[in-house]
Structure 1
Amino acid sequence: METPLTHAESIVIARSPQDLYDMVSDVTRMGEWSPVCTACWWDDGDGPRVGAWFTGRNETPERGAWETRSQVVAAARGEEFAFTVGGTWTRWGYTFTAVPGGTEVTESWQMLPDGLTRFENRFGADAQTQLADRFEAARTGIPHTLAALKRAAESG
């Protein structure tokens, strides 16, 4: 069976699209709501603009701790913030749509072609199992992240 290479979920948060964009695009806060990412920092003192790079520290019981570098690929305040891990491997995105009662925030994950090639080269026969693990992490992690973002946004 082929592993899905994309996943997205949405939640409505009682804040403006601009407020939520400001929270999500401040990658130094990502560790507050992600179940995997424990910390992020801008490389070279940069900020949320297309082309900027940041480093993230991640940790799971199964894989231990590791760091990745990501590049911002979308930075439209109040509309979309997205980045690609490794520059071309995996795309994480957030879109913000005004709705009655606040903003619909959609978080998405997509394994990109370079990421597939990387997994095949790195894991060989185990690539599909590794991809399934990453999909499952996105499937369970996205609702966790969105719920934590909602709690933080609506309490402050």
Structure 2
Amino acid sequence: MTYELQDSITVPATPTEVYALLSDVTRTGEWSVQCRRCEWEGPERGVGARFTGYNRTAEREWETVSEVIAAVPGEHFAWSVGPGRAEWGYRMRPLAEGGTELTEYTRTTPGLEEAFAQRYGERAEEEIAVRQQAARVGIPATLEAIRRMLAA
């Protein structure tokens, strides 16, 4: 049971400004619904750089290790969680009237299904559905939080 989700919003900043904010993963906790903070694993930035995310919901707390898989200033910033289990990212598109169309997306892989089957057994699909619903609600909330930050 893999899935892909995305949503978009217009934000009052240039794509370069949006990228600068979002590619600084140490600030993720300022806008994310679940991720409380991220820390780079080393001095590297850009494609191949790794970071740890510290996440929390009302039900649980967990850590993830991610690797940056896209780093195109002003256009695209994305990372692979696991790595190889899920992809999260942002795409930026300048608007003629000013501002930026910001799209947040996620997609899971068969690697996530395999990992969840090993960890949760018969409950694997249910657990994936919980994550899918969290993303369905979290993406628009995260985008709105980013919009508010850029408008301030």
Q: TM-score, normalised by structure 1?
A: 0.93
- The alignment partner of 1:44 has SS state of coil
Per-residue CA deviations over 1:13-39 (Å, capped at 9, x if unaligned) read 010001001100000000000010000
Matched residue, 1:50: 47
Matched residue, 2:23: 25
Per-residue CA deviations over 1:26-61 (Å, capped at 9, x if unaligned) read 0000000001000001102332x0000001100011
For structure 2, the 5+ residue unaligned runs are none
Matched residue, 1:35: 33
For structure 1, the 5+ residue unaligned runs are none
Matched residue, 2:115: 118
Matched residue, 1:82: 78
Matched residue, 1:71: 67
Please tell me the residue identity of whatever aligns with 1:144: A
Separation in 1, partners of 2:122, 2:9: 37
Separation in 2, partners of 1:126, 1:5: 17
Separation in 2, partners of 1:59, 1:91: 19
Separation in 1, partners of 2:109, 2:34: 20
- The alignment partner of 2:71 has SS state of strand
Query: What is the Cα-based RMSD across aligned positions, in Å?
Result: 1.0
More divergent stretch after superposition (133-142 vs 112-121): 112-121
- The alignment partner of 2:42 has SS state of helix
Structure 1 residue ranges, 4+ long, deviating more than 2 angstroms after superposition: none
Q: CA shift at 1:113, angstroms? A: 1.7
- The alignment partner of 1:46 has SS state of coil
Report the count of equivalent residues: 151
Separation in 2, partners of 1:46, 1:67: 20
Per-residue CA deviations over 1:109-137 (Å, capped at 9, x if unaligned) read 11112111111121111011001000001
Please tell me the residue identity of whatever aligns with 2:25: V
Aligned residues of 1:40 and 1:54 also touching (Cα < 8 A): yes
